[in-house]
Amino acid sequence: MRVIIGLVGLVVLGEALALLVGLGMMSRWESPWLTQKNVIFLASDIFLGMFLVWGGFQPSSGLGRIMVIAGLVLLVVSHAYRTWAYAAGQLDPFCFNLPLFIVNNVKLTGLLGVSILALLLI
């Protein structure tokens, strides 16, 4: 199970880094998408993705379990908010187009599944 958590962390981290590199290459850091809120979401994905990679490959302990579950919960809540913001037509949503909305929901579904398994198995 911990390997799956580490792999989920790699997916979250990889997607966030791909978005960061894409924004840098395509817009030269002048995109209107780069608001404080969206940068915080992107930074949290990078940080929490690295955290899950690290936590997924550490020996199981009580504190480690709590920290991994907390990281998963934070990711689920932030991805659920991004889905809501896009669907509700909020100004400046993190998911600025349909492909990003789809990727966000695929990650959200995976995060929910892994969170449920983590609560049951680790």
- How high is the pLDDT of residue 30? 77
- How high is the pLDDT of residue 34? 85
Domain span at residue 116 reads 2-121
- How high is the pLDDT of residue 11? 93
- How high is the pLDDT of residue 104? 95
Contacts 24+ apart (CB under 8 A), 4-7: 4/56, 4/114, 4/117, 5/52, 5/55, 5/56, 5/68, 5/72, 5/114, 5/118, 5/122, 6/52, 6/53, 6/55, 6/56, 6/57, 7/56
What the block records as the tokens of 121 is 């198995």
- How high is the pLDDT of residue 62? 75
Q: For residue 9, give the nearest of 105, 101, 74, 59 by alpha carbon.
A: 74
Running along the chain, 122 residues long, what does each successive block of 10 average in pLDDT? 88 93 77 89 96 83 81 96 96 92 94 89 72
- How high is the pLDDT of residue 28? 67
Cα separation of 70 and 55, whole Å? Answer: 11
